[in-house]
Structure 1
Amino acid sequence: MTGAVLGGSLGVGVLLLVSGWRRGRRPSLESRVLPYVRDVHPAAVVPVPGAAGAVVDVIVRRLAARLGDVLGGAVSVQRRLDRLGIEGNVEDFRLRQVVWGVLGFTVCSITSVVVWSTTRTDVVALLAFCFAGFVAGALACDNHLGARVRRHEERAAEEFPVVADLLALAVAAGESPVAGLERVLRVCRGDLSDDLGRVLADIRTGTPVAEAFVRLASRTGVPSIARFSEGLAVAVERGTPLVDVLHAQARDVRETARRQLIEAGGRKEIAMMLPVVFLILPVTVIFAFFPGYIGLTMTTG
């Protein structure tokens, strides 16, 4: 009887494994369709097949929703995603936050196990440390997004004068703003070029030129680029000469960059005094008085 039960259990287990393997080999609708729509929605990924993948996906999404309710700031997150040009929503970002939090929790858990096995520290303190690791991972993901946005906008501000001059030259040569923008994007690569590429994509899909540039002004965080977009939209609507507008915007950005550089130099001037006062000056005093001190010591002796 025992052998029959063991044999039946083994047979049922093998049958379940074979049936699960056959279901896993069968491609799902998502795996067949998503490779053809990645250019439309690059963030789309094929979900993990099977019951375990579905359970994990539900748990992670519920945890992401709860994390969003606790942290809040969905409007701020969506604003930063738009400024960075990421094709995604707040839910996808919350999922990434959960993943970062789980990684932080895992690292803290491993550390806690090692500490507890060696020193027998209080378990409550170790659990609080693991929870702090999860929170730190989620906050680190948010800070990482903010840092990416700042770097993106800094590079876009650096590229803006050159792009504005090239666009002004193209428009002065007799091309329309859209044709000039296409020509500039063919020769420029960078963060600002990516943002202008989104503007060009909106125009090609039927959005009016002025409205496309107004959208760029509303989602960017660089004041100079926002003024440039708004001025270009007004110039297109009212028929103002675009060449003068573009050259004026480029000069304005260069003057702003020069002023910011001078201000940064003024702030760094105070920081440069620290090594002079606390390092160079004491060494100079020591070199000046040490030989006299040695001489006085030898004379007294």
Structure 2
Amino acid sequence: MTDLARSGAVLGLLTGLGLLLVWRGLPRHRQAGLAGRVLPYLKDTPRPSNLLTNDTPAKGVVATLFAPLVGELGGHVERLMGGAASVRQRLLRAGLAPDVERFRAQQVIWGVSGGSLMLALGTLSALTRGSSPVLVVLLTGIGAVSGFAGADWFLSHRATRREQRMLAEFPTVAELLALAVGAGEGAVGALERVCRLSRGELSDELRRCLADARAGASLPVALQGLADRTGLMSLTRFVDGIVIAVERGTPLADVLRAQAQDVREEGRRLVMEAGGKKEILMMVPVVFLVLPVTVLFAVFPGFSFLNFTM
């Protein structure tokens, strides 16, 4: 197959995909969504007040045109991959709104970007080096799958990093709560004082708990929401200790100090475990670099003397 034939095959494939997308996007092939079916019956309703509208930035023309397509592709990805409960939990752990549809749309954008990049590289390779069109299609699929998996991995990584920051802040916050309670503050007053004086991920979660408590929820229920949004066992034990202390009248300051000490001990244990796991990796440069050089320096003078005497 000549270069001209390969170029024609690639261009024909791209043209066919474009015509297929145009045919798929015709009005008679579209299925009306819930908003499209209900909106004609709501035209006579009075407009709501501007005070109740969200201050969201206006979307551009490109975003407006491609939003339905991205939403439809996100629905297909959700049906294929599933795991909406896991995604919602990781979004909460990452401090984001539990909007699974928005994450699926972002995942589609990541996949399309990866597929487009690999398609461009494969097309360039086909035009310059005469690669097979099958390789171009394979690279495009690999790029799309890598984009989908990369978005999922980035969400998990973001949730893990946020929980690590919360775990690092937890002993200090627990000590501040213990000092405030020991000085005569109540549980709510101590939380308000700590949230006012501290900054960080854990402080933001405590502010959210206080907002839930001011909205009508009891303090134990609000703190239980904090435990449900995070995946840290230390925070779960911390919340359970506060809830039991508030409900049964146990001295709260002692409970908070014990929780802070437990977290410090757990952090020390994690550091020791990480050091034990890194011990094998530390032996690699010693065995393969330092030890051979030492043996070489010890043996080379003897070989040189033998060669000299011979």
Note the 1:223-262 alignment, pairs <5 A. Answer: 223-262=233-272
Q: Is 1:263 matched with 2:273?
A: yes
TM-score, length basis structure 1: 0.83
Deviation at 1:269, TM superposition (A): 2.0
In structure 2, the residue matched to 1:90 is: 100
Q: Is 1:46 matched with 2:58?
A: yes
Task: Return the alpha-carbon distance in structure 2 between the equivalents of residues 45 and 120 of structure 1.
Answer: 46
Aligned pair partner of 1:37 in 33, 39, 54: 54
1:258-298 residue CA offsets vs partner (Å, 9 max, x unmatched): 11112222222222222111111111110011011011111
Task: Return the alpha-carbon distance in structure 1 between the equivalents of residues 128 and 51 of structure 2.
Answer: 50
Instruction: List gaps (5 residues or longer) in structure 2.
Output: 1-46
Check the 8 A contact 1:203/1:209 in 2, yes or no.
yes
Task: Return the alpha-carbon distance in structure 2 between the equivalents of residues 33 and 142 of structure 1.
Answer: 37
Check the 8 A contact 1:34/1:45 in 2, yes or no.
no
* 1:58–1:72 CA distance, 2 compared to 1 (3 A): same
* 1:239–1:37 CA distance, 2 compared to 1 (3 A): farther
Aligned pair partner of 2:121 in 96, 111, 117: 111
* 1:195–1:252 CA distance, 2 compared to 1 (3 A): same
Aligned pair partner of 2:142 in 107, 116, 132: 132
Q: Single out whichever of 77-86 and 263-272 deviates more from structure 2.
A: 263-272
* 1:53–1:191 CA distance, 2 compared to 1 (3 A): closer
Residue identity matched to 2:97 = E
Task: Return the alpha-carbon distance in structure 1 between the equivalents of residues 221 and 78 of structure 2.
Answer: 32
Note the 1:12-91 alignment, pairs <5 A. Answer: 37-38=54-55, 44-48=56-60, 54-91=64-101
Check the 8 A contact 1:235/1:242 in 2, yes or no.
yes
1:94-120 residue CA offsets vs partner (Å, 9 max, x unmatched): 011111111111211210111011122
Q: Single out whichever of 145-154 and 194-203 deviates more from structure 2.
A: 194-203
Task: Return the alpha-carbon distance in structure 2 between the equivalents of residues 53 and 92 of structure 1.
Answer: 14
Deviation at 1:46, TM superposition (A): 3.3
Q: Is 1:222 matched with 2:239?
A: no
1:199-221 residue CA offsets vs partner (Å, 9 max, x unmatched): 11111211100001111112211
Where 1:86 maps in the other structure, the secondary structure is coil
Task: Return the alpha-carbon distance in structure 1 between the equivalents of residues 145 and 298 of structure 2.
Answer: 55
Question: Which gives a bigger RCO, structure 1 or 2 (Cα 8 Å, sep 6+)?
Answer: 2
Residue identity matched to 1:297 = N
4+ runs of 1 displaced by more than 4 Å? Answer: 32-36, 52-55
Note the 1:103-252 alignment, pairs <5 A. Answer: 103-252=113-262
Task: Return the alpha-carbon distance in structure 2 between the equivalents of residues 174 and 277 of structure 1.
Answer: 60
Deviation at 1:34, TM superposition (A): 9.3
Residue identity matched to 2:258 = A
Check the 8 A contact 2:122/2:135 in 1, yes or no.
no
Q: How many residues align?
A: 263
Check the 8 A contact 1:101/1:135 in 2, yes or no.
yes
In structure 1, the residue matched to 2:44 is: none
Q: How many percent identity over aligned positions?
A: 46
TM-score, length basis structure 2: 0.80
Task: Return the alpha-carbon distance in structure 1 between the equivalents of residues 51 and 132 of structure 2.
Answer: 49
Residue identity matched to 1:168 = A
Deviation at 1:54, TM superposition (A): 4.5
Where 1:87 maps in the other structure, the secondary structure is coil
Deviation at 1:228, TM superposition (A): 0.2
Task: Return the alpha-carbon distance in structure 2 between the equivalents of residues 73 and 83 of structure 1.
Answer: 15
In structure 2, the residue matched to 1:17 is: none
1:67-117 residue CA offsets vs partner (Å, 9 max, x unmatched): 111111110000011112212410010011111111111211210111011
Task: Return the alpha-carbon distance in structure 2 between the equivalents of residues 261 and 115 of structure 1.
Answer: 48
Deviation at 1:45, TM superposition (A): 4.9
Deviation at 1:245, TM superposition (A): 0.7
Task: Return the alpha-carbon distance in structure 2 between the equivalents of residues 281 and 54 of structure 1.
Answer: 64
1:177-200 residue CA offsets vs partner (Å, 9 max, x unmatched): 111111111121111112112111
Check the 8 A contact 1:101/1:138 in 2, yes or no.
yes
Check the 8 A contact 2:89/2:98 in 1, yes or no.
no
* 1:48–1:241 CA distance, 2 compared to 1 (3 A): same
Task: Return the alpha-carbon distance in structure 2 between the equivalents of residues 103 and 90 of structure 1.
Answer: 20
What value does the CA root-mean-square deviation take over the aligned residues?
A: 2.0
